[in-house]
């Protein structure tokens, strides 16, 4: 067998290193972050703090998991934060004790808002060919308008005890309900993405839209469906948040779309579509949440935290770009 050209060998080694960083970089970063935070603040790994991190991660995680489906097709969903707030307010409205409604009605109303807005997003992007950035930006404004119209931007208090259990309750006396919901959602999403034909179609559409269409995949339906998944999970996050803070607040979800995109990118999913891992998104969720929690414990100013997070996201995108070269 003839020996490979030295230039080819160097190129292969470089690509191998880049692939390793792309695959395990976020995991290594998470481990290092935990070690550093523990050295600076030993109570960072206390049981109560870990529960707090996981509880908040479960809410942000619902947005990030839904965003992963969208980004894998090469799209983006800027409306998830607004959908989260909208669904949270509408579910809270029906969860008021004065409404005398079953808590499930409130949940169904909130999920229904996510389903409607997600379908609108999907139809606009897939069937009417509206650029995802523009279409979901418009939906963001629509969802915020619907939120303000409901109560004229006033908060909604006095939610039922059963509804509040979704965000602030514990199963078995120690496991937060929000974490259980997140684990169930993850199990469903992992099955959809890696054990079904539908999941393979998502990767195919993101990898090469034209080739997927020629091979017989209904690309419009696939693209439409991922926006529905994203909005429904964002609505679920909004419901849990309203239940956790025990009231509906119009500012719920503001800026959360940025965190969701950051978690997906940090986890190694390519913004170009067709390449990514759901487990990577989970690592991204934990990494960003651990970073936020650790900086809070260290007393770092919120504005400095924004700067640090910005550099983390840019660094993740740079690594993705380097891995995509050649």
Domain residue spans of the chain: 44-324
Closest CA to 164 of 94, 95, 237: 95
- Please give the Cα distance from 79 to 133 (Å, whole number): 9
Coil, helix or strand for 301? coil
- CA-based radius of gyration for the chain: 21
**For the residues 232-252, what does the mean pLDDT come to?**
95
Q: According to the model, what pLDDT value does residue 326 have?
A: 47
Say if residue 11's pLDDT is above 60: no
Closest CA to 19 of 289, 280, 287: 280
Q: According to the model, what pLDDT value does residue 287 have?
A: 93
Question: Sorting pLDDT into bands at 50, 70 and 90, what band is 322?
Answer: low
Say if residue 249's pLDDT is above 60: yes
Say if residue 170's pLDDT is above 70: yes
pLDDT-wise least confident of 9-13, 33-37, 194-198, 221-225? 9-13
Residues 253 and 81 sit within 8 Å (Cβ to Cβ) = yes
Say if residue 4's pLDDT is above 70: no
| H or E element, residue 100 | none
Angstrom distances, CA of residue 220 to CA of 84, 271, 274:
25, 19, 16
* Number of CB atoms found within 10 A of residue 51's CB: 15
Question: Sorting pLDDT into bands at 50, 70 and 90, what band is 124?
Answer: very high
Check: pTM over 0.85? Answer yes or no.
yes
Say if residue 192's pLDDT is above 80: yes
What tens digit of pLDDT does each residue of 47-67 get? 999 999 999 999 999 999 999
Question: Sorting pLDDT into bands at 50, 70 and 90, what band is 43?
Answer: very high
Query: How many Cα atoms are found within 13 Å in the side-chain-facing hemisphere of 180?
Result: 13
**For the residues 261-286, what does the mean pLDDT come to?**
91
The CATH class of the 44-324 domain is mainly alpha
- Please give the Cα distance from 220 to 154 (Å, whole number): 39
Angstrom distances, CA of residue 84 to CA of 60, 68, 292:
10, 16, 20
């Amino acid at each position: 067998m003839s020996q490979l050209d030295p230039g080819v060998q160097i190129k292969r080694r470089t690509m191998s290193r880049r692939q390793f960083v792309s695959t395990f970089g976020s995991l290594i970063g998470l481990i290092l972050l935990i070690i550093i935070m523990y050295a600076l603040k030993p109570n960072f790994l206390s049981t109560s703090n870990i529960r707090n991190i996981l509880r908040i991660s479960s809410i942000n995680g619902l947005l990030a998991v839904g965003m992963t489906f969208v980004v894998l097709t090469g799209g983006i969903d800027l409306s998830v934060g607004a959908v989260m707030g909208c669904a949270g307010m509408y579910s809270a409205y029906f969860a008021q004790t004065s409404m005398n409604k079953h808590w499930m009605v409130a949940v169904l109303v909130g999920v229904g808002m996510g389903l409607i807005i997600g379908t609108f997003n999907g139809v606009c992007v897939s069937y009417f060919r509206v650029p995802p950035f523009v279409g979901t930006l418009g939906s963001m404004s629509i969802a915020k308008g619907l939120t303000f119209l409901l109560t004229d931007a006033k908060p909604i208090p006095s939610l039922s005890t059963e509804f509040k259990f979704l965000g602030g309750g514990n199963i078995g006396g120690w496991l937060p309900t929000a974490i259980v919901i997140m684990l169930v959602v993850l199990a469903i999403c992992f099955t959809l993405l890696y054990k079904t034909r539908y999941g393979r179609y998502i990767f195919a559409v993101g990898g090469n839209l034209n080739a997927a269409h020629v091979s017989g995949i209904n690309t419009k339906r696939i693209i439409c469906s991922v926006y529905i998944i994203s909005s429904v999970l964002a609505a679920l996050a909004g419901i849990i948040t309203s239940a956790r803070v025990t009231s509906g607040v119009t500012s719920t979800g503001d800026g959360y779309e940025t965190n969701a995109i950051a978690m997906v990118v940090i986890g190694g999913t390519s913004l170009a579509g067709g390449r990514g891992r759901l487990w990577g998104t989970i690592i991204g969720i934990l990494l960003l949440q651990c970073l936020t929690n650790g900086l809070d414990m260290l007393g770092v100013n919120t504005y400095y935290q924004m700067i640090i997070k910005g550099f983390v996201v840019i660094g993740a995108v740079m690594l993705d770009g380097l891995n995509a070269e050649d």
